[in-house]
Amino acid sequence: MTYDRGYLFSAPQSMRKDFEEFTRSVETGHQYMRNGRNAEAAELLGEALALWRGDVLVDVRRGSVLDAYAVKLEEVRLSARILRLDACLGQGSDLHLIPELNALAGLHPLNETLQYQRMIALYRSGQVAEALAGYRAFYAQVMEQVGIEPSAHLRDLQSAILNSAPVLSAVATSEEIRRGVSDDEGNGGAGPATARIPSGGHLPRSPSPARWRPKAAKVILPSQASPSRGVRRITLDAAGIPLSALISEPVEAPTRAVVVAVHNSGTNADYFDGRAHPQLSLLTLGAALGYTVVAVDRPGYRLSATQLPHGLGLLDQGAALRAALDDFSSRFATGCGFFLLAHSYGGNVALAAAADHTPPGLLGLDISGCGHEYAVDPHEVSVLLDRGRSAKNWGPLSLYPPGTFSGARSRAEDMPARERAELASRPGLFRSVAPRVRVPVRLTFAEHEAWWRQDGDTLADLAAQFVAAPRVTVDRQPDAGHNISLGWAARSYHLRALAFLESCLVLRETTHAERSATVS
């Protein structure tokens, strides 16, 4: 249309509707992500971006005004693409995002958000060297073109990658990772999950390749942290093998029973003394409710690692645990008996300890995160567990209190070689020992458990393996990842486990009463 001062272009209604629909979809997608609905957000944002075809105003002769408007529209589209990529990262989709992130980072070499996402995707896909190389290239580029260093957030991410911080393994968006990394950095600067490198935490101006090996940047950290109040360290004799352990005992009354906690691969007894929040520790909760709790470092971990540098096989670990319980009962009050509470690989050890030669006074077993059919290729388990990077150990970051990952160094251990060699055969070992367990068993799977199959038929078959057990219960723990005892759900899970212990005590008393009545 012609006006006295020039021309007015009237955009078609369909064009205005497309942009309005795009804007609404982006806002809705953002809201979905704030609510943790990353899959829906990714799909909606993908549909919104599909409304764009080619470059903005590509067939229109443009002056300065239209150029500025075109730049604005391209920025809006780029923001939506970044948001969609973040939603995909929040689903654990890392490897297939790398080509798109590489292309976008090449088109926008100074965009720090893209660089952050790219580093996360590369790291979680096992391409650690590429993630660090990308950071070095980005650092050099911004220093040369802008004259400033990358932001503290990106520097913290680089430091976390150097130290294989557990927070990076979580299925989370880059924004959630950023908050987790910042939380770890805020817990003491060169915190447990991340360690500052030379030059006050910044990269050197002229880095040489030798300076960029992770080992050169790591801080050697103590293997033991101070336990919670009322918890102390002891040593148990497992038929000549010294096993370190944590113990907490009731103060005001004799112990009702002893809860023996058995940890997973790649961690230690500190797993059961979560200190990110006062309510997480099984040791302090159990003592407060009248139980003695002893969390044992399995053979090949902590104190016994020198004597057993390659660890022990699963069945031998079960025998060692039985010997440790014999030593414990000779030195400490055991109340009504022992109750084994075990996690993941520790669950297999607990089953092995309970099978055939059942320890005297064994009341029952409570096992979390341990099944008999992998949800992944069994031969890939060892690779997935390397350096603790697997997101399958964690699930959404929101399941864990602040400080969880900054405390990782006190509970993280190298997995002994013999234990690693048996990872693929765990399902078969489970099937071989489960039928020989003669005490009540409770198995718990977290809502976000990703290592084991949990469909109805599989769980029914799992319970059916315990042909000699007087009672078998299979439960689910809502709002929890594989590492249940480290998350917000820890107290709920521990209380459920102790309630099962109480039911085992009732069963024991009932059985004794029936036997007495039969004899009389």
**pLDDT above 80: residue 258:** yes
pLDDT of 293: 98
User: How much helix, strand and coil, in percent to the nearest 5, is found in the chain?
Assistant: 50, 10, 40
Q: Which two tokens stand for residue 450?
A: 């990703």
* Helix spans in 146-244 (H): 152-162, 174-186, 214-217
Beta strands 6-7; 2-3: pairing state? antiparallel
Q: Which position has the higher pLDDT, 492 or 4?
A: 492
- Amino acid letter, 21: E
**pLDDT above 60: residue 202:** no
Three-state SS for 198? coil
pLDDT of 217: 30
pLDDT of 285: 97
Percent of the chain with pLDDT over 90: 47
Measuring CA to CA, which residue among 133, 110, 138, 107 is closest to residue 122?
A: 133
Please, are residues 194 and 159 in contact by the beta-carbon 8 Å criterion? yes
Between CA 310 and CA 301 the distance in angstroms is 10
What is residue 487's DSSP assignment? S
Q: Which two tokens stand for residue 451?
A: 């290592």
pLDDT of 302: 94
Between CA 334 and CA 307 the distance in angstroms is 28
Three-state SS for 89? helix
Q: Which two tokens stand for residue 118?
A: 């790219």
Q: How confident is the model at residue 289 (pLDDT cuts 50, 70, 90)?
A: very high
Please, are residues 178 and 127 in contact by the beta-carbon 8 Å criterion? no
Q: Which two tokens stand for residue 499?
A: 């309630």
- Give tens-digit pLDDT for 33-66: 888 888 888 888 888 888 876 665 555 565 555 5
Please, are residues 403 and 470 in contact by the beta-carbon 8 Å criterion? no
Q: Which two tokens stand for residue 361?
A: 């006074």
pLDDT of 275: 87
Can you give the pTM of this predicted structure? 0.65
Of the listed ranges 155-159, 220-224, 451-455, 484-488, the one predicted with least confidence: 220-224
Q: How confident is the model at residue 318 (pLDDT cuts 50, 70, 90)?
A: very high
- The residues, ordered by sequence, that sit 6+ positions from 333 with a Cβ below 8 Å of its Cβ are 254, 255, 292
- The residues, ordered by sequence, that sit 6+ positions from 76 with a Cβ below 8 Å of its Cβ are none
Q: 267 to each of 43, 193, 222, 270, 363, how far by Cα in Å? A: 37, 14, 14, 8, 26
Kindly state the helix (H) or strand (E) to which residue 418 belongs, with its residue range: helix 417-421
- Amino acid letter, 514: E
Radius of gyration of the chain (CA): 28
Q: How confident is the model at residue 181 (pLDDT cuts 50, 70, 90)?
A: confident
- Give tens-digit pLDDT for 115-159: 999 999 998 888 888 899 899 889 888 877 877 788 888 988 988
- Give tens-digit pLDDT for 340-397: 999 999 999 999 999 988 888 999 999 999 999 999 998 888 877 764 446 788 888 8
Find the angle CA(154)-CA(158)-CA(159) to the nearest 5 degrees: 115
What is residue 256's DSSP assignment? S
Q: 129 to each of 29, 179, 386, how far by Cα in Å? A: 33, 23, 15
Q: Which two tokens stand for residue 29?
A: 């997608």
